[in-house]
Amino acid sequence: MLSGHTGPVTSVAFSPDGTLLATGSADHTVRLWDRSDGSPKQTLTDPQGAVLSVAFSPDGQALAAGSDDGNAYIWKMPGATLQATLNGFGITGYKVRANSVAFSPDGKVLAVGGGNGGEQFWQVADVLLLLTLEGHTSSVQSMAFDSDGSIVASGSYDNSIWLRNASDGSWIRTLQGHTNWVQSTAFSPDGSILASGSADNTVRLWGVANGSLLTTLQGHAGTVRSVAFTPDGNVLVSAGGDGTIRLWGISP
């Protein structure tokens, strides 16, 4: 067991090489841990609010976090030196939560989902804001790129999922069916399936090509807070607010 945070842990992510674990917490910190023995490596105190999401870039050269202080943060790895504080959602006198962060597969773009229903795409190398998108009518809780970086999904408090072209942000389709907010999204490794976890306590699988609902997985007794496919795409893992983790076999 890893201990050190003084508030609830809200998000976890492994580095691509598996040597580090990053944890984000309501105590306003991101902590880095050595996976081999669980020893603490570093505590990042730059966020001024609860850390809502953490993500490593696919090459392991960057770590990002979103916070309810209205900012997203990027640290250069190794060493975790602060590269940038992103405040693209900033409105005078009002902080828009940076709920979700996700790197593109090549690590060049960071997507940020905002508490105002907006989405932003930042060029990581020079910290350039590429796109600001609207469409959702409530907070964007989750963002995910497909395996080749051509499509980005956003799950929202408005119960919907939007699929967009990652290159220009143009709308592809809206996936509707959840009866409560969408908390988590993940593409299968081949990009053909999108999994979504919701506060309606279900996981839904969607065909990306045509937006069809493939199946609804029931069993959790609380919000499905995280979903992830195994590298071979044969198993989906879901973590629920009911304290359970479930493994689902995915038929080809």
Task: Write down the pTM of the prediction.
Answer: 0.93
Q: What is the pLDDT of residues 191-247, one digit of tens each?
A: 999 999 999 999 999 999 999 999 999 999 999 999 999 889 999 999 998 989 899
Sequence-distant (6+) residues with CB within 8 A of 85 are: 46, 71, 72, 73
Q: What is the pLDDT of residues 125-168, one digit of tens each?
A: 999 999 999 999 999 999 999 999 999 999 999 999 999 999 99
CA separation for the pair 79, 88 (Å, rounded): 25
**Mean of per-residue pLDDT scores for the chain:** 93
Nearest to 188 by CA among 229, 141, 136: 229
Give pLDDT tens digits for 183-195: 999 999 999 999 9
Return the pLDDT at 93.
54
Would you place residue 89 in the very low, low, confident or very high pLDDT band (cuts 50, 70, 90)?
A: confident
Confidence band, pLDDT 50/70/90 cuts, at residue 252: low
DSSP annotation string for 174-224: EE---SS-EEEEEE-TTSSEEEEEETTSEEEEEETTT--EEEEEE--SS-E
Amino acid 184: pLDDT: 95
| CA distances from residue 27 to 42, 46, 49, 53 in whole angstroms, order as listed | 15, 12, 8, 13
**Rounded CA separation 67/99 (Å):** 6
Judge contact between 97 and 106, C-beta under 8 A: no
Q: How far is Cα 80 from Cα 86, in angstroms, rounded to an integer?
A: 16
Predicted confidence at residue 94, as pLDDT, reads: 60
Domains, the chain, ordered by start: 1-134 (2.130.10.10)
Q: Is the pLDDT of residue 87 over 90?
A: no
Question: Rounded CA gap, 121 and 119, in Å?
Answer: 7
